């Protein structure tokens, strides 16, 4: 089997690693230094280039890492070209690329989420904020690469968030949302439009600094199967959130095929949807795939042809921890080009998934993005030994990933 993986992060390195472990031949577009020998120089948003690549390489299946090509209609285009691809169409990916549409959808189908008002101007926003009272959450409608959500508790924070949303991001529509409380949980599932195969749950650490301080990031690490994600809770999430979402999408004429990722808040009133993503999370993917025992290409191929119901998906019953090593200046202005050394000091049973890495002309491994590497393993101490062994100037990482404090709250607030 030959598989094309689209993207260039730690997520795509983990996908490529898992596929190769099951014997597939893999091409990554455009990839990073971790997937170096597999890379093809086609960017993730160059859909014409990806169509040509998939045809020239005669790939059997394409897997898409990031949301932007899905939102741009990669899957619709591949279908026209009769190329097999695992991922949602543009219409189905709307669950990620329009938060306003998604809130309406959740409302139509009675799926639990925070109360919301959608507004189209600063004036309307101020009225909504006055009616509801602070604290509130202000969100961009569209894709914002993790920079479109502001939890605001003071008028000054409101002003700066509205400025960022309307002027900085140029949003036409924003959401004024009730502020929920509780630990967060990411629940991802494979879907063929009808059948769901839920993955082990994960907890992602979004803030830069220990103790959930500092700015929001794309994710600084995480761990799978937190103690508060019980079997009962997961059954509830599947029944009240994931299934009604799939059924609703089908009924509305946009069957959802791909990875459905529910970002949840575990509130006192039960789990509620914060957001959906239409793809694997990063770093969730790096945490979850080492636990997958079934051939990933077979799962995705079955899902792409509506036959996921015929495939059993098996997981190892273990917990993984993942720590992201980020570049100096991340997330605001990550510096690139710093030499990376010490990868040979990563312990044997820890994976070093590359994200922002590149081979320089003189063959040095250098930083090439904000998140540089994700180290993943089952032994917490070994993962941190790896995090300390790798060196580059300005390396940043959290020291508290997967440390469960009493009350079962691991992170993320």
Residue 286 binds to ligand GLY (criterion: CB under 6 A): no
Which residue from 96, 180, 175, 95 is spatially nearest to 139, judged by alpha carbons? 175
In the complex, minimum distance from the CB of residue 305 to ligand GLY, in angstroms, rounded to a whole number: 26
In the complex, minimum distance from the CB of residue 371 to ligand AMP, in angstroms, rounded to a whole number: 17
Q: Which of 117, 177, 184, 204 binds ligand GLY (CB under 6 A)?
A: 204
In the complex, minimum distance from the CB of residue 74 to ligand GLY, in angstroms, rounded to a whole number: 18
The smaller minimum CB distance to ligand AMP, of residues 192 and 284, is found at 284
In the complex, minimum distance from the CB of residue 116 to ligand AMP, in angstroms, rounded to a whole number: 8
The smaller minimum CB distance to ligand AMP, of residues 385 and 413, is found at 413
Pairing state between β 85-86 and 61-64? parallel
Give the one entry of ligand AMP, ligand GLY, none that residue 281 binds, where binding means its C-beta sits below a cut-off of 5 to 8 angstroms depending on kind: ligand GLY
The smaller minimum CB distance to ligand AMP, of residues 13 and 206, is found at 206
Residue 184 binds to ligand GLY (criterion: CB under 6 A): no
Instruction: Look at the block and give the residue holding tokens 């989420």.
Output: 113
In the complex, minimum distance from the CB of residue 128 to ligand AMP, in angstroms, rounded to a whole number: 14
The smaller minimum CB distance to ligand AMP, of residues 180 and 323, is found at 180
In the complex, minimum distance from the CB of residue 389 to ligand GLY, in angstroms, rounded to a whole number: 25
Give the one entry of ligand GLY, ligand AMP, none that residue 275 binds, where binding means its C-beta sits below a cut-off of 5 to 8 angstroms depending on kind: ligand AMP
Q: How far apart are CA 204 and CA 262, in angstroms?
A: 12
Residue 277 binds to ligand GLY (criterion: CB under 6 A): yes
User: Which residues sit at the interface with ligand AMP, rule CB under 6 A?
Assistant: 114, 137, 139, 149, 151, 177-180, 184, 206, 263, 274-275, 412
Which residue from 167, 176, 102, 104 is spatially nearest to 137, judged by alpha carbons? 176
Q: Across the chain, which distance is largest between two alpha carbons, in Å?
A: 60
Give the one entry of ligand GLY, ligand AMP, none that residue 173 binds, where binding means its C-beta sits below a cut-off of 5 to 8 angstroms depending on kind: none
Contact present, 359 and 320 (Cβ < 8 Å):
no
The smaller minimum CB distance to ligand AMP, of residues 62 and 118, is found at 118
Residue 12 binds to ligand GLY (criterion: CB under 6 A): no
Q: Which stretch binds ligand GLY (CB under 6 A): 73-81, 169-177, 191-199, 278-286?
A: 278-286
Restricting to residues 209-248, name those near ligand GLY by CB under 6 A: 219
Q: Which of 281, 331, 352, 402 binds ligand GLY (CB under 6 A)?
A: 281
Q: Which stretch binds ligand GLY (CB under 6 A): 44-52, 87-95, 280-288, 363-371?
A: 280-288
In the complex, minimum distance from the CB of residue 174 to ligand GLY, in angstroms, rounded to a whole number: 19
Secondary structure of the chain in the HEC alphabet? CEEEEEECCHHHHHHHHHHHHCCCEEEEEECCHHHHHHECCCCCCCHHHHHHHHHHCCCCEEEECCHHHHHCCHHHHHHHCCCCEECCCCCCCHHHHCHHHHHHHHHHCCCCECCEEEECCHHHHHHHHHHHCCCEEEEECCCCCCCCEEEECCHHHHHHHHHHHHHHCCCCCEEEEECCCCCEEEEEEEEECCCEEECCCEEECCEEEHHHEEEECCCCEEEECCCCCCHHHHHHHHHHHHHHHHHHHHHCCCCCEEEEEEEEEEECCEEEEEEEECCCCCCHHHHHHHHECCCHHHHHHHHHCCCHHHCCCCECCCCCEEEEEECCCCCCCCCCCCECECHHHCCCCCEEEECCEEECCCCCEEECCCEEEEEEECCHHHHHHHHHHCECCCCECCCCCCCCEHHHECCCC
The smaller minimum CB distance to ligand AMP, of residues 201 and 377, is found at 201
122-132 and 155-162 helices, crossing angle to 10°: 150
Give the one entry of ligand AMP, ligand GLY, none that residue 282 binds, where binding means its C-beta sits below a cut-off of 5 to 8 angstroms depending on kind: ligand GLY
The residue number with the shortest CB distance to ligand GLY is 281
Residue 282 binds to ligand GLY (criterion: CB under 6 A): yes
The smaller minimum CB distance to ligand AMP, of residues 178 and 378, is found at 178
Q: Which of 12, 177, 184, 284 binds ligand GLY (CB under 6 A)?
A: 284
In the complex, the residues that contact ligand GLY under the rule CB under 6 A are 204, 219, 277, 281-282, 284
């Amino acid at each position: 089997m030959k598989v094309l993986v689209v993207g260039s992060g730690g997520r795509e390195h983990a996908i490529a690693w898992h596929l190769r472990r099951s014997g597939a031949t893999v091409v990554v577009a455009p990839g990073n230094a971790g997937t170096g020998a597999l890379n093809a120089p086609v960017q993730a948003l160059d859909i014409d280039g990806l169509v040509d690549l998939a045809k020239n390489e005669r790939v059997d299946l394409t897997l898409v890492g990031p949301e932007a090509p899905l939102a741009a209609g990669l899957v619709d285009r591949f279908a026209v070209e009769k190329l097999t691809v695992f991922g949602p169409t543009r219409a189905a990916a709307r669950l990620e690329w329009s938060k306003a549409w998604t809130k309406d959808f959740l409302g139509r189908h009675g799926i639990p989420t925070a109360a919301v008002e959608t507004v189209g101007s600063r004036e309307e926003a101020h009225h909504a904020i006055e009616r509801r009272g602070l604290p509130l959450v202000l969100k961009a409608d569209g894709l914002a690469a993790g920079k479109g959500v502001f939890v605001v508790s003071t008028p000054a924070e409101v002003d700066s968030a509205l400025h960022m949303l309307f002027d900085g991001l140029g949003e036409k529509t924003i959401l004024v949302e009730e502020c929920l409380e509780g630990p967060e949980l990411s629940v991802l599932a494979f879907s063929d439009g009808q059948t769901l195969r839920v993955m082990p749950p994960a907890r992602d650490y979004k803030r830069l600094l220990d103790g959930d301080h500092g700015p929001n990031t794309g994710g600084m690490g995480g761990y799978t199967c937190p103690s508060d994600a019980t079997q009962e809770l997961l059954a509830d999430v599947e029944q009240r959130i994931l299934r009604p979402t799939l059924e609703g999408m089908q009924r509305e004429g946009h069957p959802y095929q791909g990875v459905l990722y529910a970002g949840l808040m575990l509130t006192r009133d039960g789990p509620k949807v914060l957001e959906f993503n239409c793809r694997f999370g990063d770093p969730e993917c790096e945490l979850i795939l080492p636990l997958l025992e079934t051939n990933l290409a077979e799962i995705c191929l079955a899902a792409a042809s509506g036959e996921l119901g015929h495939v059993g998906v098996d997981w190892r019953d273990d917990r993984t921890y993942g720590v992201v090593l980020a570049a100096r200046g991340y997330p605001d202005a990550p510096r690139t080009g710093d030499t990376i050394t010490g990868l040979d000091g990563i312990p044997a049973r820890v994976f070093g998934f590359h994200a922002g890495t590149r081979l320089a002309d003189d063959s040095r491994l250098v930083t090439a993005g904000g998140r540089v590497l994700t180290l993943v393993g089952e032994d917490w101490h070994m993962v941190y030994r790896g995090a300390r062994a790798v060196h580059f100037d300005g390396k940043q990482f959290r020291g508290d990933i997967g440390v469960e404090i009493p009350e079962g709250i691991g992170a993320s607030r």
